[in-house]
A and B are shown apart, each in its own frame.
Chain A
Amino acid sequence: MTKSLEDYLRAVHDLSRDSGSARVADIARSRGVSMASVCEAMHRLDREGLANHSAGESITLTEEGQRQALRLSSTHEFLLHLLRDVLAVDPEDAEKDACSMEHFLHPDTLSHLVAFSQFVDSRTPGGLSLKEAFQRSEPDGCEMLPSPRGRHGRWRREPAGPCMADLQVGSRARVLHLHASCPVRRRLADMGILPGVEFELVRRAPLGGPVEIAMEGFSLTLRRGEASKIEVEPLP
């Protein structure tokens, strides 16, 4: 069965579960396709012995069709759970990815994923479950993917605009974003480098050493690596 046929099977199942009947027009509307393509698909489902389709009537699933639809539906639910609740993926992205993953995962892979999900969700005596530990952990691991959006998109490592390290000696700027990894970011924030704060780049140390910045009441030195992770807005 092709991916699109599986999707139709699930659509029929969901519609007849939710509204009692599934007609070609309803399916076309729910999937945003033409009625002709729905008819074509329904014929194929009929041929496969998964649905009963005759002109003018609503579509019903055969027993085999019901079974397959249920399997697909529970796979989908599980993958959505795995992505959204365990891996803490953005719910919208999780829905989309679950929809595509459900079609191509080998049944064995799927059962392994189920076991893994149960494993990380089980509690260790007295402590956090692995799932909770993961969700509370720093988002660094996720930043390896060059994803522009999603949960960790805004924590990407590289600033898009000018960074502190690019500034001329003696110029002033305002901090926009901290792109550093989590412990550094926290340290910078605690030491007073926060979005919105203004500073002056006082000097650079020789031999590619750190930069010194002066803020209201105190001076800090940062290595150039760290300074290049701080996105700034130069001030006149």
Chain B
Amino acid sequence: MRRISVALAGNPNTGKSTIFNRLTGSSACEGNYPGVTVELACGSRTCGDRRLEFMDLPGQYSLSPASSDESVAVRYLLETPPDLILDVVDAANLERNLQLTVQLAALGLPMVIALNMCDEAAAAGRMPDPAVLSARLGVKVVRTIGRTGIGLEELVQALVEASQDGAPPRMQALGEDVDAEISRIAAMLPPLEVDGRGIAAMLLEGSEEAAAAVGRAAAGASARILEAAGTASRKLERLYADPVQIVLAGLRRGVASGLVMESVGPSRRRSTGPDVTRRVDAVLLNRFLGVPAFALIMYAAFWLTFRASAPLERLIADAFGALAGLASTLIPDGAIRSLVADGVIGGVGGVVLFVPAIAILFLLISLMEDTGYMARAAFLTDGLMHKVGLHGRSFIPMILGFGCTVPAVMATRTLEDRRDRLATILVLPLLSCGARLPGYLLVIGAFFPRHKALMLAFIYSVGIALALAAARILRKTVLRGEDSPFVMELPPYRLPTLAALARHVWRRVRHYLAKAGTVILAFSIVLWFLGYFPRQAAGADATAAVGGSFAERLGHAVEPIVRPLGFDWRIATAMIGAAGAKEIFVSQMGILTSLEGGQGRDLTSRMAALYDPGTGLAIMLFLLISAPCLATVAMVRRETGSWGLAAAQYAGLTALAWVIAFLGKWAFGISRFF
């Protein structure tokens, strides 16, 4: 079987990942905002006797990358040139997209263009004619709608034909002076796997990736070639009286608008009335309504999380209750029964209970991402982010941080400035991740049943406020530096597909369940062991069953430190467990209280009986702020390359947690008198 490698390239947010997922059946991240793909993803599809191997590249605006994720794409194209480039073009935004197409065509690799989002272009009355584009660019052009999968079969067919044909795209003339310089430098180049003229144009723009490619092919001649390129670009700058990058971008833009003119017809600017996106934005991004609307949407998301998940949660709780009952009748009394009923079912069950809430919250977050609202949220909040000294692009890792801190820390790679990146990484654990949600839900259910959504919004807001304050302090002190630029595309609103939403939610739930089945199960067993042994002499009364166990001794050892927060030895032990993974707090409270003979009543009412609401608040705050989980610590160490930083973050956050939880409890106590 012949293997054909195909690289999906194109501007950010043109639907490369959606097409990639449709073609290969994988589930790479996709969303309606630029910069979703930060690393390469690969997948394959068989067509007849050929195997198409797809590589999904991060989106790029040009071949001269501005950030590290874009340079991943350029290096891939130059270092391991694919057999084919599949250039995914947003048909509704043709002119800007074709600027990159012209650059890609210059690389001389066989290419196929997917005119994606044809439905939007058609709705705007600006549907390009594929035949014209195909004739002018010398490549196959296929109309597609990635969301619905229309045109993808034709696309696969076109890819196979293009790979048999192997003809390079037609080189687009940029103008005599520039083309002369490009040809002159291209003639000096050693034989390369991509067309020399593409490399020569990149050298003119001072591309490091192109210089590296030349260096690999001919180390000896590279200095001479680079010198010639430098002289040529200075010559062009004098000629055009503009920086060479702007000269070349402008010329490509000229070619692109010529292509648009021919394939679409003259632009009818502002001939139609305001489109849907503009009308929606007139409200959602309104100067006065925008921020309240954002707050309202976030609040509604939390409220829905509770309302919609409650019935499902009851079902799961009943199922686990029945399971525990069944285990008690089947297994004879003793350590094994306790292990299964209290340890495994109590521990894991307590965590699985929150699957519906997590699924719903992430469904809502995905909905915001896929419709394009998340980019608007970045637009609305950038003023604030800017004031605290964070980069606009920090917003995306921060949103991811609400899911899980670990991928969020990884996503900070899109930040170029190291200080921006460090500040973001250090405050990320304060954005409350999904693993902490079960803890909040438990505490809120036990102590604040009348203000559920409000309390949840409150605890998330405390996290956000602390993160912003911490970022501000960091950027004013140890991580002082200039702001880096922030230019972002605002995508039009789009209707998300059910399939994409389902994929997002399933990825999150699967991750959560996998954790419940592994780490949390293991911790549950360890903690059950610590809570169960050493057994006291027979005859000891049931409520003191845990008395003298390892867990109690450990808890008692730590208790003096956390006593001012209202924590007893049980909470102390559970918090120690939560340092491994945050969900463990819930499973451990479940085990510890059920070992004491609390079976029959659910964990929520056991909690309500043991502690007061002030302590509940302190638990939430401590859970939010203290000790990032072990996976986060490892990732921070990996991404910053410093154990010192990871340790400082750990200690700093834990100390802060103590102070804030103490203040919270104290303030709650005071507020009672009013």
Contact = CB atoms under 8 A, between A and B. Distances in A.
B383 A206 contact: yes
Contacts of A129: 223
Given A194-B250, A222-B487, A209 B61 contact: no
A209 B382 contact: yes
A212 B90 CA distance: 20
Contact of A128 (B223, B285, B383): B223
Nearest to B96: A192
Contacts of B387: 207-208
A209 B384 contact: yes
23 contacts: A132-B223, A136-B230, A154-B242, A187-B61, A187-B66, A190-B99, A194-B250, A203-B281, A203-B285, A205-B382, A206-B287, A208-B383, A209-B383, A209-B384, A215-B96, A217-B93, A220-B489, A221-B486, A221-B487, A223-B392, A223-B487, A226-B485, A226-B486
A209 B489 CA distance: 15
A126 B211 CA distance: 12
A138 B215 CA distance: 21
A183 B207 CA distance: 12
A189 B487 contact: no
A100 interface: no
A186 B383 contact: no
Given A189-B245, A203-B281, A210-B382, 10 more contacts: A128-B226, A155-B243, A180-B485, A186-B245, A187-B487, A207-B384, A209-B384, A212-B490, A220-B488, A226-B485
Given A154-B242, A180-B485, A189 B250 contact: yes
A194 B66 contact: no
A145 interface: no
A137 to B, nearest CB: 8
B290 A206 contact: yes
A210 B250 contact: no
A144 interface: no
Contact of B250 (A139, A196, A216, A223): A196
A192 B206 CA distance: 19
A88 B231 CA distance: 10
Interface in A130-172: 132, 135-136, 139, 154-155
A209 B64 CA distance: 28
Given A88-B234, A128-B226, A203-B287, A220 B490 contact: yes
Given A188-B487, A192-B96, A194-B249, A135 B230 contact: yes
A220 B489 CA distance: 4
A191 interface: yes
Contacts of A118: none
A216 B95 contact: yes
A129 B381 CA distance: 45
A44 interface: no
A185 B61 CA distance: 13
A225 interface: yes
A204 B96 CA distance: 23
A192 B485 contact: no
Contacts of B40: none
B558 interface: no
Contacts of A47: none
A123 interface: yes
B486 A186 contact: no
A155 B485 CA distance: 17
Q: How large is the interface on B (under 10, 10 to 19, 20 to 34, 35 or more residues)?
A: 35 or more
Nearest to B121: A217
Contacts of A195: 242, 246, 250
A114 interface: no
A220 B94 CA distance: 15
B363 to A, nearest CB: 27
B610 interface: no
Nearest to B285: A203
Contacts of B64: 186, 190
Given A190-B99, A209-B379, A216 B488 contact: no
Nearest to A137: B206
Contact of A218 (B93, B281, B384, B386): B93
A219 interface: yes
A24 B489 CA distance: 70
Contact of B227 (A132, A189, A204, A210): A132
A126 B215 contact: yes
A36 interface: no
Given A203-B287, A207-B384, A210-B379, A189 B246 contact: yes
B62 interface: yes
A123 B66 contact: no
Interface in B200-218: 205-206, 215
B584 interface: no
A219 B489 contact: yes
Contacts of B382: 205, 209-210, 221, 223
A187 B485 contact: yes
A182 interface: yes
Contact of B241 (A154, A209, A223, A225): A154
Nearest to B238: A151
A219 B490 contact: yes
Contacts of B250: 189, 194-196
A232 interface: no
Contact of B226 (A136, A184, A220): A136
Contacts of B392: 210, 223
B273 to A, nearest CB: 14
User: What 5 pairs across the A-B complex have the smallest Cβ distances?
Assistant: A209-B383, A207-B383, A217-B93, A189-B249, A190-B62
